[in-house]
Structure formats: structure tokens, C-alpha cells
Amino acid sequence: MTLVRSGSRREVVSRGSALLALGVAGGLLLPRRARAAHDMSAREQELYAAARKEGELTWYMSHSDDATAQALGRNFEALYPPLKANVVRTTAQVAFQRVSQEIKAGAMQVDVLSTTDIGHYVYLKEKALLEKYVPENASKVLDIYKNYDPDGTFFVTSAGMIAIGYNTARLKEADAPKNWTGLTDPKWKDKIALGHPGFSGYVGTWVVAMRKLYGWQFFESLARNNPQIGRSINDTVTMLNAGERLIAGSGPVSTAMSSAQKGNPLAMIYPIDGTVLIIAPSGIMKGAKHPNAARLFMEYLLSAEASQIWVEHFNESLRPEVTPPPGITSAKDVKTIRPSADEITKGIPEVIKQWRDTFGV
């Protein structure tokens, strides 16, 4: 019987990956420079020293697509060597499903949880499953991102927008719908792609916002247009790039713009009733195996370095000193709408049920 204990396996694996990286990559990826000690605050130095003893952390992440998530993880590794970040990117509800499984099994694997459904944090906090830690950097972000939890168990670490995306090679801007309600026009039958609120926290929040604006009949009309339903909100961008659909009804601005930058024929319409702004938190799990690395990571998520990566991937900057490159539309340039934390917490479980009844899955 080959029972491999997890300690020895990790060793084999990390040695194996080191070999792989050395042998094949050979300096293919130049890491950003490690953070010099004199650039660090006293608390940061202390956390870094303690985190080095822990060696790594595990981050369940649904704030962005996989590419942005991995870039954030790699940048953390470069700033604080030799710490390792295990970045597991899934949709919000799948991440929460894994966390629930871990809670139920009594074996917490995740250190920092970053989902896009604020209701998760309200629930976890209620069950005393979040650890209190107020990052130093929490006071240095823009005011609108401050103080979501006065008790200091979770903090806003990311913000992004949902608008209407379209394939510019197959649809002229003049013909594209100008507002959310335009999506229900019968001429878009079989042309729209959507994500799924049962997976994506972005989509869940968007559905709550739409229900608030137009009532559930909006989705009943939308269902008549037979949209293609994926899981992640980012799947809509794939559907546009492939030419499978023309319009991303729930279009993630950052993923679509990153993709457009790579040469794909994509553009966004910012609806007149308001672009949906998503504010997504992170928190440290109680019983995390790497508590100091987790704290350091929370500091990092709120740092200017992380905001720099966010704007490079067309998300919002949390820090006043980091501004998006000129010509990029950010939340301050358009009219935005946003359901309250309460509306989201109550609303998402409801709309998932309604969605399943209306769309069948």
C-alpha cells in the first residue's frame, strides 16, 4: 500500500517543480524586484519574518480571471521571496463550496478567501469563521473602499465593472444595445451570452441589480432570447471572441478589455441606467494554517503594488496614488450602480433559485 505522507510529498513535488522550472524555463520569467527591507514598515517586516517560517499561503480567488489572479500571486512571490502563493481561481460559489466542504470536514485548507459575493463574508463572520486583522494599508485606500466591516474581519480588496460587451467585427457600435433593457429586444435572439449566478458572484450581484431596476420580468424576457449560459462571467468573453455570440449581456469590463488589448475584436457599452460596480472583499479564515503569511497577503492586496497589477488588467485601483493609464474607462468616468451589501447578501440566494426556475439550470 503506497501511503504517501503529505510532508514528504510536498518535498518531492517542490523539488520536482524547482527542477522543472530551472531546467526548462531558465530565467524566462524575470520576477519583479523583491521588496527591500527599508521600504517595509515595522509591521510588514515583522509579518514577513513570521511568514517566512510558514513558507506559503493558499488563496481562493474569484475576483478576476485566472491570468490576473496568477499575476497577483506571482508578484507577491517576487516581493516577498521565498514565500509561495498557491492561487486557486474559481468562481465565487465554487470557491465557497470548497470552503464549506473544508469547514464540514474540519480541515481548513484556505488561508485567504477572496470571493465576489459579499454575503459569504457576512455568513462566515456570523459563524465566527473569519479572523480579525486590520491591515495597516486598510486606511490608505480610497474612501469608498473603506470600512465595509467595522469589526475588521473583511476588507474590500478589488473592484470591477459589469457592462455590455460586444464583438466589434460582427456588430457595429450604432447597432449595439445602449441599455440593459435593450438586451430583451427579440432581434438579439440566440445572440447573447451570460454567466450564471449559481457560480459567479459578479453575475449574482448583476442579477440582483437588474432585478432591483426592472423586476424579475426582465429575466423572463431575456430568457425568451435564449441566451447562452456559461458559468464564470468571463466565459461570456470567450463566447464573443469565438464568434459564438455577439453580445455579452453580463460583460466583465476587465476581462473583455484585457482580451481586446491582445487583439480580439471587443468593445464595451456602458448602459445609460448605470454600469454595475462590483466591490469584492477578502478575509482571513479562522484556523488558517499560515496566519502570518495570510496577514502579509492582506496587506499586499491593499498595497499600491497590487493596485498597479489591477489597473494593468483593467480593474479599478483601490489606492489614490495609482491611476489607470489614460484612455481607459474607469468607474469615475461612467454612471455606476451598486446594490447594498444587505441587498446582495439577501438577494443572491434568492436570485439563484429564481434563475434556476426561469432558465432551467
Partner 1 sequence: MNSAVLAPAAWRSALDRRLHFVEPGMALWLLLIAALVFLVASPMLRLVVASFQEPESGRFTLANYAQAYGRLSHLRAILNSLELGTGVALLAGIFGVPIAWAISRTDMPAKGFVRLMVFGAFIIPPYLGAIGWILLAGPNAGWLNKVWMALTGASHGIFNVYSMAGLIIVVAVASFPYVFVFTSSALDLVSSEMEDAASILGAGTLRTTFGVTLPLVLPAIIGGLIVSFLEAIALFGAPALIALPARFHVVSTQLWQFFEYPVRVEEAAAYAMPLLAITVLMFALQRSLLGRRGYVAVSGKGGERRMIRLGAWRWAMLGYALAVCLLSVLLPMLVLMQAAFAKAWGRGFALDNLTLANFRYILFEQTQAQQAILNTFLYAGASAFAAIALSLAIAYVVSRKLVPWSNVLALLCMAPFVIPGVVLAIGFYAAYAPPPLALYGSAAIIILGFTTRFLPIAYTASAAGLRSINPEMEEAVRNLGGGRFAAIRTVLAPLLKKSLAGAWILVFIPATRELSSAIFLVGPHTRVISVMLFDLSEEGNFEVLSALGAILLLATIAIAAVSFRIVGRDFMLRGS
- In angstroms, the CA 206 to CA 210 distance is 6
Min dist. Cβ of residue 291 to partner 1 (A): 16
- In angstroms, the CA 247 to CA 255 distance is 14
Residue 95 to residues 91, 124, 279: CA-CA distances in angstroms? 6, 13, 17
Determine the residue type at 184.
Answer: T
Do the beta carbons of residue 345 and residue 213 sit within 8 Å?
no
C-alpha cell of 170? Answer: 460582427
The answer to whether residue 282 forms part of the interface with partner 1 (CB under 8 A) is no
Binder of partner 1 out of 43, 46, 86, 354 (CB under 8 A): 86
> What residues from 241 to 280 belong to the interface with partner 1 (CB under 8 A)?
241-245, 262-264
- In angstroms, the CA 161 to CA 314 distance is 10
Q: Interface with partner 1 by CB under 8 A: which range of 141-149, 154-162, 205-213, 222-230?
A: 222-230
The answer to whether residue 12 forms part of the interface with partner 1 (CB under 8 A) is yes
Other Cβ atoms closer than 10 A to 7: 7
Nearest CB to partner 1, comparing residues 320 and 349: 349
Q: Is 355 exposed, middle or buried (0-12, 13-18, 19+ CB in 10 A)?
A: buried
Q: Interface with partner 1 by CB under 8 A: which range of 141-149, 196-204, 214-222, 308-316?
A: 196-204
The answer to whether residue 2 forms part of the interface with partner 1 (CB under 8 A) is yes
Min dist. Cβ of residue 73 to partner 1 (A): 5
Q: Interface with partner 1 by CB under 8 A: which range of 11-19, 145-153, 318-326, 337-345?
A: 11-19
The answer to whether residue 94 forms part of the interface with partner 1 (CB under 8 A) is yes
The answer to whether residue 58 forms part of the interface with partner 1 (CB under 8 A) is yes
- In angstroms, the CA 253 to CA 268 distance is 7
> Any idea which residue has 457592462 for its cell?
163
Binder of partner 1 out of 35, 63, 89, 319 (CB under 8 A): 89
Do the beta carbons of residue 44 and residue 280 sit within 8 Å?
no
Q: Interface with partner 1 by CB under 8 A: which range of 92-100, 130-138, 147-155, 309-317?
A: 92-100
Q: Interface with partner 1 by CB under 8 A: which range of 38-46, 135-143, 191-199, 306-314?
A: 191-199
The answer to whether residue 290 forms part of the interface with partner 1 (CB under 8 A) is no
Nearest CB to partner 1, comparing residues 81 and 243: 243
The residue among 289, 294, 290, 341 whose CA lies nearest residue 123 is 341
The answer to whether residue 97 forms part of the interface with partner 1 (CB under 8 A) is yes
The answer to whether residue 189 forms part of the interface with partner 1 (CB under 8 A) is no
Nearest CB to partner 1, comparing residues 230 and 249: 230
The answer to whether residue 106 forms part of the interface with partner 1 (CB under 8 A) is yes
The residue among 224, 196, 125, 162 whose CA lies nearest residue 348 is 196
- In angstroms, the CA 305 to CA 252 distance is 23
